[in-house]
Amino acid sequence: MRGFLTLILLVAVERVAELVVSNRNLKWSKTHGGKEFGAGHYPVMVALHTGLLVGAVAEARVRKRRSRAALWVVLAAQVLRWWCITTLGKQWNTRVVVVPGADRVVGGPYRYLPHPNYVAVVAEGAALPLVGGAWVTALVFSVANAMLLRTRIRVEDQALRSLT
């Protein structure tokens, strides 16, 4: 259990690092005329991702079966996530913001998929709880996240169309 708690803590620290980068980039976007799309779903996303970490820890306390294989999925998801973040550069943040006149990024993982960061989110959301044996949390998060991503991807696609 101690190893799983360490992993959750490391993921939480990584999320804080993401928020630091996101807030810096959001400030840059706003000063360059960035327009936010779909702000209404953002608090739901924050609550869902916070719930993932809390739920995984709570459930893992009563589960005995762990999955080392899922740890590799979590690590791969982190690599993909940061590849997305570095590829988007100043255009990346946790909100949907489009800077007028900005070019659509089509390099890095975006060369292969239109929304590669969500591949990382889906993989991590399913695998992270499984590392601690928290299969109910993995299932609940995955279903709720699928519903949220339907909205989020629709909003992002609409925002990206405004670039053309």
Q: Is 33 helix (H, G, I), strand (E, B) or coil?
A: coil
Give the tens place of pLDDT for each residue, 12-25.
999 999 999 999 99
The reported pLDDT for the residue numbered 28 is: 96
pLDDT range class, residue 48, cuts 50, 70, 90: very high
CA–CA distances in Å: residue 82 to residues 78, 79, 149, 151: 6, 5, 19, 23
In the chain, what are the helix, strand and coil shares in percent, each to the nearest 5? Answer: 75, 5, 20
Mean pLDDT, the chain, as a whole number? 94
Nearest CA-CA partner of 127 in 145, 108, 152, 150:
145
As given in the structure block, the two tokens for residue 2 are 């101690």
* Integer Cα distance of 94 and 77 in angstroms: 16
Q: What are the chain's domains?
A: 2-161 (1.20.120.1630)
29 burial level (CB within 10 Å; 0-12, 13-18, 19+): buried
Asked if pLDDT for residue 163 goes beyond 90, the answer is no
What is the pLDDT at residue 107? 96
How many Å apart are CA 112 and CA 22, to the nearest integer? Answer: 23
pLDDT one-digit tens code per residue, 63-107: 878 888 999 999 999 999 999 999 999 999 999 999 998 888 999
